Structures are given as structure tokens and as C-alpha cells.
């Protein structure tokens, strides 16, 4: 990525050979629930949370208990059952299964076995709102007193001098913000130490003295759902960059820089090896004339797993290296799934319902699955492992990506398309 940056490149896609990025088309009847932005009334919020699964044997049967450890946030000033904001809390075992915890967590409400309801905050969105006591404020960070935020300008005083700071942070009571939130009446979150960190439009940090937390710049669930609603069809010939540029233009450059990327994390969706019967009278090829859809996994396989499910494994990313400093790109990446730790999600993967791109991950035929000689070669030659994965990837069906080949041929012409796609579907056995 550092090399791409040195050559003035922008977006870099980090996927594997059996993965294909596509538009995450909205399917209201089949999509998982949209995450909430704030806890519903009467529901307690946990921030900085982690999940813990404990296995034990009960009546001769192995049972997993899932609990969540986090920090209480958003409580009223009087607290709750003797607990106050900022205190650590471990829930009782949850009613929901561990799959829901692992891949459907932030923005969701979970119930423990005593009936208490817990909302899990999106900590990635709030990562800059560091709530700290005055003695921990870095020496070079200005402290803003008497703060008032209106229309993207934070008014206040620094060392007695009046200042105006342009920022994309918002007051939770701002009507413009309220219209974008689900639910539309957020609980005001008390600061633990009387203030929190904040950034201006240029990325400079300030400490703002406030009793209530401000809303950090990020796209709400409603905004992200609307982006999905505007997505073109793959058949239209639009590209990923077309969508990114359109949405960034709509948001405006400053707000887009803080809310779309520079690391866009995308959920994966596992496609299995179930095929349609080509002899069935209703079967119809989607490949252009002269091409065979058997040569393209993106055309051949339609059945996939449930979104936000453990079987889909970890996210993949597309990263705008032009907006990341050379310092952050030095050394080895944290992982292929979260290569630039501050900018990419890590422990809280993206929610499917609010992701406008996704990565289709194809199991393919067993020949294709076992062909690769990589670090997982032992598992790739395990037919039982392959079959077990396949059973999890026949839950739903869609054709979102399948029109791409016709659009590609129409765009570049048949002759060039044949040249570029020569050998697709072939397996060259290396000695």
C-alpha cells in the first residue's frame, strides 16, 4: 500500500482470488435487521465491549454461555441499581446465540436470562470521542471551554480567547442529526470526566469541556440504508468507483473524507457449490453468446449463506491510501482483514444491512477448492470440510452479481473481452 501511495494511487482493493466485490443490493425481505444508532428507551448501553463464550456440560450436553463485558454508558445521572456511567459491567448469560453476538453485534439489543436488555454501541464510530479527566489531556491539545455547536461551527473559548472551530461533529439534539437517527430520540450520553476529545475538519484534536457527549462524524444507519437504496444494478455497467465518487460528492468533500473511508470495510458472503439443473425447462443461461457460465463462479453459483453469520468469516477492505499517512503505512499490516488498525474496523466487523459493498466469497467446485496450495492446503484437501462449509452456504439465493459479464462485453467489446478472459475456468496443474 505504501508503494501505491508513492505512485499517487487512491483506492486499493484487498481481496483473494476467490472473492469478488459487488454492490450490496437492498433486499428488504431477505436482509438482516438494520442496526440502531442509539439504545431504545429503557435499554442500557455498553461501550468498549467484548464477548465471552464459556463452554460447560449440562445434563451430558455441551452448552455455551455467552456474556458481554463492557462499560456502562448512557445511564441517567441517578444511575441504575447502584451502578454509574463509566463502571465495568458483565452481563448475565444471554438468551441470543453466540453467532448473533459474533457477527450481528453493534447496534443490536440483546437480552440476558434475567430479562435485562443491553444495547452494544458502535465503538469504531466513537473512537475519537475519548472521554478523559483533565490531567490526562496531552499538553499540546487546546482545551475549549463554554462550548456551543451550531451549523458545523463549535464556538467557545481557549485560555479566555473566543474561538470558532469548523467541525463535522454534531450536537445530538440538532434537528438535522435527529432526522437521520434510528431511533430518532437518542439518550444523551453523560461524559464521565466532564469532557472529551474532538477533531476539526482538518483533523486537529481539541478537548471540549462538556457534560454531554457530542455526536462524532459518521454515517447513520438511515443514511447507509439510503445509499444501498440508490445502488445501481451490475447490469448498468457502473463501477465501484462510480458509486464512491457519487456518494462522496453528495456528502461534500470534508464530511465524506471523515465518513466514507479511507478504509471501507465490507462484509463477506459465502457462496456454496449448489448448482441449478441445466436440463430443467426453466433454466436460462445469463452468459453472453459464446461464453459458458460454468467457467465463471460468479455466474455459476447463486446460493449463499445467511448474512451476518459466523460462516462468512472476516471482513475485507478497500483502502484510499492517498488519505492515509506514510507513517501509518510503514511496516507490516495488522492483518489482511484489518490492515490499518486505526482506520479499519477490527473487533466489531461491519454490519451487512448498512454496507453498500460486499465481497462474494466462492467455495466453488471441489477441484477449485483443493487446487490452491496455500497455508490452508491441509484443509483444502479435506472433502468433509468442504462439504460442511457447503451446507452452510445454501440458505438463500440471489443474482446480484451475475449480469456483470454481459455488461463487461458490452463495455469493451467481444474481441477484447475474450482476450482478457482467456483461460477462465481452467486449472493448470503445476509440477
- For residue range 316-359, list pLDDT tens digits in order: 999 999 999 999 998 888 788 999 989 999 888 899 999 999 99
Q: State residue 373's pLDDT score.
A: 67
Q: State residue 62's pLDDT score.
A: 66
Three-state DSSP state, 242: helix
Among the listed residues 108, 111, 117, the one whose alpha carbon sits nearest the alpha carbon of residue 96 = 111
Contact at 8 Å (CB) between 118 and 184?
no
What's the CA gap between 276 and 362, in Å, rounded? Answer: 16
Q: State residue 419's pLDDT score.
A: 95
Contact at 8 Å (CB) between 205 and 132?
no
Residue ranges of the chain with pLDDT lower than 50?
431
Q: State residue 75's pLDDT score.
A: 81
What letters, b where the CB count within 10 A reaches 16 and e where it falls short, cover 254-263?
bbbbbbbbbb
Q: Rounded to whole angstroms, what are the CA distances from 57 to 60, 63, 294?
A: 6, 6, 47
What's the CA gap between 21 and 13, in Å, rounded? Answer: 9
Question: Given the C-alpha cell 461534500, which residue does it identify?
Answer: 252
Q: State residue 204's pLDDT score.
A: 95
Amino acid at each position: 500500500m505504501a508503494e501505491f501511495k508513492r505512485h499517487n494511487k487512491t483506492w486499493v482493493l484487498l481481496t483473494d482470488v476467490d472473492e469478488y466485490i459487488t454492490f450490496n443490493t437492498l433486499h428488504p425481505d431477505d436482509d438482516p435487521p438494520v442496526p440502531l444508532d442509539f439504545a431504545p428507551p429503557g435499554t442500557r448501553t455498553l461501550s468498549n465491549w467484548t464477548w465471552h463464550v464459556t463452554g460447560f456440560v449440562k445434563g451430558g450436553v455441551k452448552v455455551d454461555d455467552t456474556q458481554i463485558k463492557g462499560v456502562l454508558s448512557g445511564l441517567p445521572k441517578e444511575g441504575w441499581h447502584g451502578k454509574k456511567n463509566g463502571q465495568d459491567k458483565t452481563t448475565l448469560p444471554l438468551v441470543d446465540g453466540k453467532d448473533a453476538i459474533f457477527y450481528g453485534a453493534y447496534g443490536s439489543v440483546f437480552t440476558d436470562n434475567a430479562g435485562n436488555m443491553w444495547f452494544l454501541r458502535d465503538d469504531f464510530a466513537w473512537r475519537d470521542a475519548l472521554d478523559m479527566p483533565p490531567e490526562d489531556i496531552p499538553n499540546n491539545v487546546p482545551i475549549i471551554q463554554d462550548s456551543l455547536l451550531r451549523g458545523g461551527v463549535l464556538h467557545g473559548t481557549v485560555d479566555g480567547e473566543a474561538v470558532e472551530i469548523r467541525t463535522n461533529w454534531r450536537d445530538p439534539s440538532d434537528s438535522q442529526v435527529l432526522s437521520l437517527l434510528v431511533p430518532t430520540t437518542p439518550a444523551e450520553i453523560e461524559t464521565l470526566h466532564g469532557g472529551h476529545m474532538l477533531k476539526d475538519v482538518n483533523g486537529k484534536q481539541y478537548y471540549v469541556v462538556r457534560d454531554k457527549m457530542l455526536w462524532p462524524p459518521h454515517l447513520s444507519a438511515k443514511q447507509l440504508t439510503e445509499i444501498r437504496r440508490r445502488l445501481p444494478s451490475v447490469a448498468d455497467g457502473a463501477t465501484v468507483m462510480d458509486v464512491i465518487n457519487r456518494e462522496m460528492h453528495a456528502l461534500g468533500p470534508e464530511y465524506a473524507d471523515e465518513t466514507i473511508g479511507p478504509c471501507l470495510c465490507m462484509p463477506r458472503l459465502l457462496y456454496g457449490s449448489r448448482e441449478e439443473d441445466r436440463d430443467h425447462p426453466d433454466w436460462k443461461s445469463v452468459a453472453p453468446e459464446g461464453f459458458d457460465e460454468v467457467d465463471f463462479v460468479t455466474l455459476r453459483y447463486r446460493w449463499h449463506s445467511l448474512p451476518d453469520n459466523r460462516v462468512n468469516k472476516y471482513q475485507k477492505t478497500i483502502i484510499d491510501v492517498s488519505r492515509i499517512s506514510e507513517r501509518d503505512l510503514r511496516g507490516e499490516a495488522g492483518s489482511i482483514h484489518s490492515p490499518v488498525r486505526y482506520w479499519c474496523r477490527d473487533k466489531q466487523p461491519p454490519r451487512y444491512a448498512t454496507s453498500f459493498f460486499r465481497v462474494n466469497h466462492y467455495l466453488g467446485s471441489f477441484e477449485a477448492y483443493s487446487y490452491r496450495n496455500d497455508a490452508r492446503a491441509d484443509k483444502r484437501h479435506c472433502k468433509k470440510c468442504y462439504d460442511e462449509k457447503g451446507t452452510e452456504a445454501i440458505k438463500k439465493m440471489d443474482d446480484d452479481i451475475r449480469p456483470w459479464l454481459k455488461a463487461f462485453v458490452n463495455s469493451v467489446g467481444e474481441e477484447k473481452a475474450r482476450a482478457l478472459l482467456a483461460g477462465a475456468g481452467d486449472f493448470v496443474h503445476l509440477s
